[in-house]
Amino acid sequence: MTGIYIITNLINGKRYIGQSIDIKRRFWDHRCVSHERNRHLRFALMKYGKENFKYEVLEECKEDELDEREKFYIEKLNPEYNVLEGGQSSRGGMTDEIKAALSESGKRQWENLPEDRKKQIVSNNLVGPRKGHPVSEDTREKLRKANIGKKQSDETIQKRKEAMRIKKENGWSRDGSCTFKKVICIETGQVFESVKAAASAFGIAPTRISSVLKKRQETTAGLHFKYFESVETIPDECKEVGQGMSCCPKCEARESVKR
């Protein structure tokens, strides 16, 4: 059905008038609150609930008559939720008069804001661009001045420390270089370049292997893991070697490295 429709708030009586070449489908669009383009109507739907709105067809008409009939009903009924005058302007093309009115309205809203709120808005808008995005010298200077005298809160400092700790545990240093610790599986003797590599080889979640390495649990999937350490032993460590051994495993490995 093509024509003009009206949506009425049953709680306060406020209305919205629109046009569509498929009114039934348009009604479904309005009921999907997150997709509602008119912010006044969207906030009302969120506040009062879509079940408290009545949807009616005002007039069926031809497609080429939609703009004229929409403007007629908006001028006649003055619906509270409509921002634009209707017609082509309601489908993305604003007239110069409407643009000027919206601009003046925005200026008045800004002038009426408290100074602390203005500073907060300006500060929030002076955030850095996406990584790799070019930044002009003028913008850099504004950012520098905006951050003069600012001190990070204890909460922010702790968050940054925690982020660095997690990155370090996952094998990354401050300068971005990789510092992965090698991991050895006790049962198989396999040495892996990182926890992630070991997890991939055995089909185990990396967090489970990390729990074993941090001694939060003894095994995972029946396997023992520990960080692979370079062999740096001294002969005194071999005092307690049993009679059946000529050399402890560490010293044997050390000798093989020397050869």
> What are the extents of the domains in the chain?
3-96, 164-232+245-259
Of residues 178 and 257, more confidence is placed in 178
Residue type at position 186: I
Evaluate whether 3-96 and 164-232+245-259 have a shared fold: no
For the record, the structure tokens of 114 come out as 């408290």
**CA-CA distance, 85 to 221, in Å (whole number)?**
68
Residue-wise pLDDT for 187-243, tens only, equals 888 998 888 888 888 988 888 898 898 888 899 988 999 988 754 444 444 544 444
Question: pLDDT value at position 12?
Answer: 93
Residue-wise pLDDT for 3-59, tens only, equals 999 999 999 999 999 999 999 888 888 888 777 778 888 889 888 988 999 999 999
Tell how strand 183-185 and strand 191-192 pair up: antiparallel
- The enclosing H or E element of 106 equals helix 96-112
The CATH topology of domain 3-96 is: GIY-YIG endonuclease (3.40.1440)
**CA-CA distance, 43 to 4, in Å (whole number)?**
22
Q: Integer distance in angstroms from the first to the last C-alpha of the chain?
A: 89
**CA-CA distance, 242 to 227, in Å (whole number)?**
26
The CATH topology of domain 164-232+245-259 is: Arc Repressor Mutant, subunit A (1.10.10)
Residue type at position 218: E
Buried b (16+ CB within 10 A) or exposed e, 157-170: eeeeeeeeeeeeee
User: Which pairs with CB-CB distance under 8 Å and at least 24 residues apart come from 67-72?
Assistant: 67/19, 69/3, 69/4, 69/19, 70/4, 70/17, 70/18, 70/19
Question: pLDDT value at position 129?
Answer: 52
Q: Which residues contact 73 (CB under 8 A, 6 or more apart)?
A: 4, 6, 17, 58, 59, 79, 86
Q: At residue 202, what are phi and psi to the nearest 5 degrees?
A: -100, -5
Query: Hey, which residues does 8 pair with through a beta bridge?
Result: 15, 54
